[in-house]
Amino acid sequence: MTLIKTEALVLHSIPFQESSSIVRIFTREQGKISVIAKGARRLKSSLRGLLEPLNHLEVIYYFKSTRDIQTLSKVDLIRSFLTSATDIETDIWGLALLETVDHVVQNHQYDHEIFDLAVAFLAQMDDHPELVQLIYIRFLLALTKTLGYRIGVDNCARCQRKLTAAIYDPENAQLICCECGKYFPPESRLNERELAFLKNRKDVNADSSIRKSRLVNILIHYLSYHLDIRLKLKSLQILPEISI
């Protein structure tokens, strides 16, 4: 049995027996694992309130390769994200980021790049809660690049014509020019401002002509296609303006 100390993001926590919790965490050093936090739900437990999603922790746990669930030993809080949020929608976008990571990363898959990416974008959300949806879009763009599936936003995927506006082709998960996509329905079109927003990845500001929900849907579909998974986020289903 090995004692491991690492940073972690809490992805999900469920009650176990009378006073314990089973917690799924994404660690920087060991990837995604599940741990049992014995007595975590007792009133006087030092773990109460720490093992919740949107918490960035330093954890120490006992690792044994023959176990599917490891044993948590100690937790220290590094940062609790979005605690100052004044509405539930702000929290939802942070939870959507964590849920995306949970879907994308496999158990015990070591990927410190994705971990650092998640922490960085959660920190951005915490610092700019009024921009959480735009920051989530930026996270999806960065994630596709990190995974090696960067979406082509400069040239038409069919004819290679330079894109100024674009059509999203869901069958092939790619952006094509308006001429190649002239028979696609109007809702498949991205206007010039939306395409410019995807190109300018460093700018988190956007005007009202950018349909943020549309960009979220496209990027989630794009990730689902290339990773061959069904990326249906429960956290976003309660937002009526988004249909994933």
pTM of the model: 0.91
Q: Which domain holds residue 141?
A: 88-236
Same domain, 129 and 167: yes
The CATH number for 134's domain is: 1.20.1440.120
Tokens of 194: 């939306």
| Local mean pLDDT, 10-residue blocks, the chain (244 residues) | 94 92 95 94 87 96 92 96 84 96 88 96 95 94 95 95 94 95 90 88 62 92 94 83 46
Same domain, 20 and 110: no
Flag whether 123 is in a domain: yes
Same domain, 46 and 120: no
Between CA 151 and CA 160, with CA 155 as vertex, the angle to 5 degrees is 125
Asked if 192 and 240 touch (Cβ cutoff 8 Å), the reply is no
Q: What is the pLDDT of residue 49?
A: 87
Q: How many domains does the chain have?
A: 2
Q: d(Cα 105, Cα 95) in Å, to the nearest integer?
A: 15
